[in-house]
Amino acid sequence: MSENDKESVDLEIQILKQLDHPNIIKLIDIFEDEKYLFLVIELMEGGELNDILGDRFKEDDAKELIRLLIDAIRYCH
C-alpha cells in the first residue's frame, strides 16, 4: 500500500469512528499487523438484504428503505 493510500485509509477510519447514526454500521475497533488491517464492526443480524427482500419487495418497503438511506446520507454530509 502506498503512503497516499495509507493516509486515505487512516482518514476514512477516523471518519467512521466519529459516525453515530442508527442506519450506519458502527466501527468498533481496528487491528493492524504487517500485512493486514482488520476492522471490527458491530454485529448485524437478520441476513442478507437480498434474502430479506426477495420477490416480495413492495413499493411501501422501497419507500421506507430509500428514506432510511437518505437519512443516513444526510447525516454524513
Res. 73 pLDDT band, cuts 50 70 90 = very high
Q: What is the mean pLDDT of residues 16-36?
A: 91
Q: Is 50 left (phi over 0), alpha (psi -120 to 50) or beta?
A: alpha
More confident residue, 40 or 47: 40
CA 77 to chain centre: 15
pLDDT at res. 38? 94
- State the Cα–Cα distance between residues 35 and 12, nearest whole angstrom: 19
* CATH number of the structural domain 1-44: 3.30.200.20
Q: How far apart are CA 15 and CA 48, in angstroms?
A: 25
pLDDT value at residue 49: 72
Where in the chain are the domains?
1-44, 45-77
pLDDT score for 50: 73
Q: What is the pLDDT of residue 55?
A: 67
